Amino acid sequence: MEQAKRGVLPEHRSNHWIDKTKEREEMQINFLFIGKLHIKKSRLRRQDWMNKKMKSIGYILLSAGIAIFLYILLHEFGHMIVMLSVGATITDFSIFTAHVSADGGNYTDLSDMFMNVNGALLPLIISYLYTLLYKKGSTKSFYRIFSYMFMLIPIASMFAWVFIPFVYLHTDVPINDDVTKFLAVFCESYHPLIVSVMAVVLIGMGVFLMIKKRVIYNFIEEIKQK
């Protein structure tokens, strides 16, 4: 009693107070540990997200470069096939300047038109075939992104065949590209907007294939991955 009056706690109460203090200290340590672990996990998730985004951007740039190169190759090869078929001699072929030229050849109006349009048609047809063989269940990032680019570029090139006939119909345009060279012969007998309609049909077929084979869906899934 005398010890209690002097402010000295009994032994059992003192031990209880010590245990409570230790428990609070342990809880504080646990909270600090959990907080640090959460911050570390958050940093790792952010770093992982950044790595995936940088990887996707790299794949997009690489795929676009390869797809453009292949498009130019197939485009010029499409012209060259017709040139050779009419007996012309190839004098120049360059991928880097996107150019092919030839001497001679027995051209008709039909072969002349086909020579000009085949530069756009050949890569488009090959991209159709590629899409038909596309493995929509594949989870490989580069394959998904490259397939999208390989299909997109030939389809995008067809928009020139949609819009230039409208310009050709209303103004005098210089005949210095594949579309206007084609129209110069085609429009002697037919309306230029027929070309626009056919181009829209070809674009629609390509987009339909990309949707049906999940090329677009898989590409979006890749660039949106968290």
pLDDT (tens place) for every residue of the chain, 226 residues total: 444 445 554 555 555 555 556 666 666 665 565 655 556 556 656 666 566 678 888 889 999 999 999 999 999 999 999 999 999 999 998 888 888 888 988 999 999 999 999 999 999 999 999 999 999 999 899 999 999 999 999 999 999 999 999 998 888 777 778 999 999 999 999 999 999 999 999 999 999 999 999 999 999 998 886 5
Assigned token pair, 184: 């110069």
pLDDT of res. 44: 55
Neighbours of 45 (CB within 10 A): 11
Amino acid in the structure at residue 52: K
Spatial separation of the C-alpha atoms in residues 209 and 132, rounded to whole Å: 7
Q: What ranges do the domains of the chain cover? A: 8-224
Cα 48 to its chain centre, rounded Å, is: 22
**Strand, coil or helix: 148:** helix
Amino acid in the structure at residue 26: E
- The residues, any chain, with a CB within 8 Å of residue 136's CB and separated by 6 or more, are 213, 214, 215, 218
| Residue the block writes with tokens 């004098």 | 91
H or E element in which residue 11 lies = helix 11-85
Spatial separation of the C-alpha atoms in residues 84 and 218, rounded to whole Å: 40
**pTM attached to this predicted model:** 0.77
| Residue the block writes with tokens 């609070």 | 24
Spatial separation of the C-alpha atoms in residues 41 and 173, rounded to whole Å: 61
